[in-house]
């Protein structure tokens, strides 16, 4: 194996938990079973740490996949410079309060991709009371990019895009649309 992969000899002895792990024996498959089990457990622990989280919100709190899984989502893209976006914040706040019991969550996403303190300050300045994602989830849910704001997407409990709504929305209109889609 060393002839095929010269780097392998250099990496063959890896210090692990105070003992030398002979990677050559494991690679050939004739290492003792406890090292193989230990390596599989280590790999499992490392992969578990790489969960599908959604980053942070406007307050620096982690948004986990478990918090959003299985829920209908109303995702609204906004910007401070967008007049209709500013106007619909009160409607989205009302909707978020009305739907405070899952399975529907209202989420915001800043179109200008503000982060950290800038995102927090912009959200506060607009009076946003629902959660704002710091990372754009468009790729994850395959949301088409919109050059028009505001734009609101409705995602079902299986993570499928069900509706794309352009322009200013009302709480009553979004509630009626959710009822129709959930039938």
The end-to-end CA distance of the chain, in Å, is 60
Note the CATH number of domain 65-181.
3.40.30.10
Judged against a pLDDT cut of 70, whether residue 158 lies above it is answered with: yes
Structure confidence by residue, pLDDT tens digits, 86-139:
999 999 999 999 986 668 999 999 999 999 999 999 999 999 999 999 999 999
Structure tokens at 42: 């280590």
Task: Indicate the domain borders of the chain.
Answer: 6-48, 65-181
- Confidence bin at 12 (pLDDT 50/70/90): very low
Contact criterion met (CB below 8 Å) for 164 and 151: yes
- How many Å apart are CA 122 and CA 52, to the nearest integer? 26
Judged against a pLDDT cut of 80, whether residue 28 lies above it is answered with: no
- How many Å apart are CA 171 and CA 90, to the nearest integer? 9
More confident site: 46 or 125: 125
Q: Indicate yes or no: pTM above 0.85.
A: no
């Amino acid at each position: 194996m060393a002839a095929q992969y010269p780097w392998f000899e250099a990496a063959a002895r890896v210090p692990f938990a105070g003992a030398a792990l002979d990677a050559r024996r494991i690679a050939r498959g004739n290492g003792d079973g406890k090292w193989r089990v230990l390596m599989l457990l280590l790999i499992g622990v490392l992969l578990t740490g790489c969960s599908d989280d959604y980053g942070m919100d406007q307050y620096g709190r982690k948004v986990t996949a478990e918090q959003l899984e299985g829920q209908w989502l109303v995702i609204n893209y906004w910007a401070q410079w967008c007049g209709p976006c500013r106007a619909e914040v009160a409607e989205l706040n009302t909707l978020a309060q009305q739907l405070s019991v899952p399975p529907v969550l209202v989420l915001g996403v800043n179109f200008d991709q503000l982060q950290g303190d800038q995102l927090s300050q912009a959200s506060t300045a607009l009076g946003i009371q629902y959660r704002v994602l710091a990372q754009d989830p468009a790729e994850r849910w395959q949301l088409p990019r919109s050059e028009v704001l505001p734009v609101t997407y409705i995602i079902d409990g299986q993570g499928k895009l069900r509706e794309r709504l352009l322009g200013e929305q009302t709480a009553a209109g979004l509630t009626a649309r959710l009822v129709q889609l959930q039938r």
